[in-house]
């Protein structure tokens, strides 16, 4: 009976593909969402304290004059890889008891064209989308313009999506 | 205790910050079956505020609200770290980078951002339009076209051993090197 209910529940959900989907089957209340606020706060603190939000650090990285950013990204990937491996290997469940969903990515030309375009923007603004929010929090008000422009860029992509090679 | 707090106030080395960022992946997966990725928040803002009947923005963004709450947290984290955990010493940048940037006309190396560029007054100049408006546009357009950013592709995608994410990450780097070494010197000559 429970299985039938589950199938019905998933059937209603419209297909939605993005890189950070919510795969939780159970609906979450506002109080459940506090978890993500806390993880976000800790994440923002790490961004500032490791100076990842710094325009200078990004310049250092692209000029190969410091190991710092490579060390941050590299060790983050290694820890992420080990975690994902362990979750898969031991079938570790979420705190709500669900099986963790992973999403294989399909190769698309957008990963090349879009990747190059984002790279250009990353070096000039000194920010990927995450650090933008921490930069604004750190009091760099001019970055609000970067954020609004990034929202505009996302919107224009949505508008032109079908006309672009992909 | 004071020693511990003094350590927290110092800039965090990569081997502390990197693993903490990596741990975000299992944390989000295990507390709510969420794949780590930040640039999708920009898409949810579009879907929530200006969907304009574009199919790409017609989905149940409320189901993805966790992503917007997460970036709100990142914003608060920025406030907390800057106001209560600020580094008491000067910002240290490699000598080589200082020399390169001086040659381009940047003179203020006291903060995390070059004060020559990151002021609201700059925004209303050609320089500001290029660095913030055009640059921000490239970030938003490029991440969505690539289907993710440093978090969704470089960290979550590589953690899950996805070849497309490796391709995307290499392209991010190639784009960044191209801007830094080939295009930025031209931009700085404009002023």
Instruction: Say if residues B36 and B23 touch (Cβ distance below 8 Å).
Output: no
- The pLDDT score that the predictor gives to residue A17 is 64
B58-94 as b/e: b if 16+ CB within 10 A = ebebebbbbbbbbbbbbbbbbbbbbeebebeeeeebb
- The pLDDT score that the predictor gives to residue B6 is 86
- Beta bridge partners, A22, equal B34
Cβ-Cβ contacts under 8 Å, B157 against chain A:
19, 105
Choose among A100, A121, A159: nearest Cβ to B29: A100
pLDDT mean over A15-22: 72
Q: What is the pLDDT of residues A107-134, one digit of tens each?
A: 999 999 999 999 999 999 999 999 999 9
Cβ-Cβ contacts under 8 Å, A59 against chain B:
97, 100-101, 180
A153/B144 CB distance under 8 A: yes
Total-model pTM: 0.92
Choose among A33, A112, A135: nearest Cβ to B69: A33
> Is some CB atom of chain B closer than 8 A to the CB atom of A38?
yes
Burial label, A12 (beta-carbon count in 10 A; 0-12, 13-18, 19+): exposed
Cβ-Cβ contacts under 8 Å, A107 against chain B:
163-164, 167
Residue holding tokens 């304009």?
Answer: B52
- The pLDDT score that the predictor gives to residue A42 is 97
Choose among A95, A108, A129: nearest Cβ to B143: A129
> Is some CB atom of chain A closer than 8 A to the CB atom of B61?
no
**Is the pLDDT assigned to residue A6 strictly greater than 70?**
no
> Is some CB atom of chain A closer than 8 A to the CB atom of B56?
yes
Instruction: Say if residues B93 and B72 touch (Cβ distance below 8 Å).
Output: no
- The pLDDT score that the predictor gives to residue B191 is 76
Provide the pLDDT confidence category of residue A21 given band limits of 50, 70 and 90: confident
User: A24: how many CB neighbours lie within 10 A of its CB?
Assistant: 18
User: The tokens of B164 are what?
Assistant: 């497309």
Classify the complex by whether its ipTM is higher than 0.85, answering yes or no.
yes
Higher pLDDT, B98 or A166: B98
> Is some CB atom of chain B closer than 8 A to the CB atom of A33?
yes
Burial label, A101 (beta-carbon count in 10 A; 0-12, 13-18, 19+): middle
Instruction: Say if residues B157 and A18 touch (Cβ distance below 8 Å).
Output: no
A133/B75 CB distance under 8 A: yes
Closest Cα in chain B, distance from residue A5 (Å): 19
- The pLDDT score that the predictor gives to residue A112 is 97
pLDDT mean over B101-107: 94
């Amino acid at each position: 009976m429970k299985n039938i209910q589950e199938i019905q529940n998933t059937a209603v959900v419209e297909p939605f593909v993005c890189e950070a989907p919510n795969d939780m089957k159970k609906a979450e209340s506002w109080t459940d969402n506090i978890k993500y606020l806390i993880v976000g706060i800790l994440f923002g603190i790490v961004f500032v304290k490791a100076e990842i939000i710094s325009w200078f650090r990004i310049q250092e990285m692209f000029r190969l004059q410091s190991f710092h950013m490579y060390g941050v990204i590299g060790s983050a990937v290694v820890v992420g890889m080990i975690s994902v491996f362990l979750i898969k290997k031991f079938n570790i469940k979420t705190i709500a008891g669900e099986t963790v969903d992973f999403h294989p990515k399909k190769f698309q030309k957008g990963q090349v064209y879009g990747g190059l375009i984002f790279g250009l923007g990353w070096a000039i603004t000194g920010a990927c989308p995450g650090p933008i929010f921490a930069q604004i929090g750190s009091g760099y008000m001019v970055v609000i313009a970067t954020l609004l422009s990034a929202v505009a860029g996302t919107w224009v992509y949505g508008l032109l999506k079908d006309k672009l090679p992909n | 205790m004071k020693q511990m707090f003094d350590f927290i106030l110092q800039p965090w080395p990569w081997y502390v910050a990197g693993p903490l960022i990596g741990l975000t992946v299992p944390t989000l997966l295990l507390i709510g079956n969420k794949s780590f990725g930040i640039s999708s928040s920009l898409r949810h803002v579009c879907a929530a505020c200006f969907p304009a009947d574009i199919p790409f923005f017609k989905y149940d963004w409320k189901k993805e609200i966790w992503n917007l709450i997460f970036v709100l947290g990142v914003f608060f984290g920025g406030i907390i770290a800057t106001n209560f955990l600020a580094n008491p010493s000067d910002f240290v940048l490699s000598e080589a980078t200082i020399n390169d940037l001086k040659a381009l006309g940047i003179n203020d190396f006291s903060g995390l951002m070059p004060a020559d560029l990151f002021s609201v007054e700059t925004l209303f100049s050609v320089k500001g339009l290029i660095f913030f408006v055009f640059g921000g546009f490239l970030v938003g357009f490029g991440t969505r076209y690539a289907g993710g950013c440093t978090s969704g592709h470089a960290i979550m995608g590589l953690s899950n051993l996805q070849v497309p994410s490796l391709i995307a990450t290499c392209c991010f780097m190639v784009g960044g090197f191209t801007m830094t070494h080939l295009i930025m010197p031209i931009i700085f000559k404009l002023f």
